[in-house]
A and B are shown apart, each in its own frame.
Chain A
Amino acid sequence: MALMTSTRRLFHVSFRENSLRRAEALISATNTTSGNLSLAGQRMACIRVRDFGTNTQPLRADNKVTVHFTNRDGEKISVKGSPGDSLLDVIIDQDLDFDGFGACEGTLACSTCHLIFEEDVYNKLGPITDEEMDMLDLAYGLTDTSRLGCQICLTRSLEGMTARVPESVADIRQSGDGSS
Chain B
Amino acid sequence: MGKLPRPESVDIYERLPVPFGLVRFGVAPDHPEVKNVINTFTQTAQHARCSFHGNVRVGKDVTVEELQEAYHAVVLSYGAEGNRTMGVPGEDLAGVYSAKDFVGWYNGLPRNSELRPDLSCETAVILGQGNVALDVARILLSPVDILKKTDITQHALDALAESSVRRVLIVGRRGPLQVACTIKELREMVNLPGTRPEMEASEFEGIAETLKSLARPRKRLTELLLKAAIETPGEEELERRNRAERAWGFRFLRKPLEVLPSTDLIRAAGIRLAVNRLEGDGEGVRAVATGEVEDVECGLVISSIGYKSLLIDPAVPFDARKAIIPNTMGRVQQTAGLYCSGWVKRGPTGVIATTMNDSFDTARTLLQDIGKGTLDVSTVKPGSQGVSALLEKRGVKPVSFSDWEKIDSEETRRGEIKGKPREKMLDVGEMLQVARA
Residue numbers of A with Cβ under 8 A of B are 1-3, 6-7, 10-11, 14-15, 18, 35-38, 41-42, 99-100, 103-105, 107-112, 130-131, 133-135, 137-138, 140, 142, 168-170, 172, 174-180
Contacts and interface: CB of A to CB of B under 8 A. Distances in A.
Interface of B: 1-2, 4, 6, 30-34, 36-37, 39-40, 43-44, 46-47, 49, 130-132, 143, 145-146, 149-150, 179-184, 187-188, 191-193, 215-218, 220-221, 283, 346-347, 349-354, 356-358, 360-361
A37 B350 contact: no
Contacts of B150: 38
Contacts of B181: 178, 180
B349 A174 contact: yes
A170 B32 CA distance: 24
Contact of B31 (A35, A38, A140): A38
B4 A35 contact: no
A111 B34 CA distance: 11
B34 A138 contact: no
Interface of B is mostly: helix
B304 to A, nearest CB: 10
Most interface-central of B149, B184, B349, B361 (chain A CB within 10 A): B184
Contacts of B32: 38
Contacts, number: 142
Nearest to A131: B184
12 contacts: A1-B1, A1-B4, A7-B40, A10-B46, A37-B146, A103-B37, A109-B31, A112-B356, A131-B184, A142-B217, A174-B350, A178-B179
B213 to A, nearest CB: 15
Nearest 8 pairs of A and B residues by beta carbon: A107-B33, A137-B217, A180-B130, A7-B43, A109-B33, A105-B36, A180-B131, A134-B184
Most interface-central of B4, B43, B149 (chain A CB within 10 A): B43
A100 B187 contact: no
Contacts of B2: 1-2
Contact of B220 (A103, A109, A133): A133
B182 A179 contact: yes
Contact of B187 (A18, A134, A176, A178): A134
Given A35-B145, A110-B353, A177-B217, 10 more contacts: A35-B143, A36-B149, A37-B30, A41-B31, A100-B353, A105-B36, A134-B183, A142-B216, A174-B347, A177-B218
Given A168-B353, A180-B181, A38 B347 contact: no
Nearest to B28: A38
Contacts of A169: 357, 361
Given A1-B1, A103-B36, A133-B220, A6 B361 contact: no
Contacts of B43: 7, 10-11
A176 B254 CA distance: 23
Contacts of A168: 353, 357
A39 to B, nearest CB: 9
Given A35-B193, A36-B149, A178 B221 contact: yes
A106 B220 CA distance: 22
Contact of B33 (A1, A35, A42): A42
A2 B48 CA distance: 13
Contacts of B30: 37-38
Contacts of A6: 47
A178 B217 CA distance: 8
Given A3-B47, A105-B39, A134-B183, A35 B146 contact: yes
Contacts of B351: 110, 138, 179-180
A105 B34 CA distance: 9
B36 A178 contact: no
Contacts of B354: 170, 175, 179
Contacts of A180: 130-132, 180-182, 349-351
Contacts of B216: 137, 142
B126 to A, nearest CB: 14
Contacts of B1: 1, 99
A109 B34 contact: yes
Contact of A175 (B4, B350, B356): B350
Contacts of A107: 33, 36
Nearest to A5: B2
Contact of B358 (A36, A37, A112, A170): A170
A138 B357 CA distance: 14
A91 to B, nearest CB: 14
Most interface-central of A107, A142, A170 (chain B CB within 10 A): A170
Given A42-B33, A170-B350, A103 B6 contact: no
A2 B220 CA distance: 40
Contacts of A42: 33
Contacts of A104: 33-34, 36-37
A172 B361 CA distance: 11
A178 B180 contact: yes
B24 to A, nearest CB: 15
Given A3-B47, A38-B32, A138-B217, A11 B353 contact: no
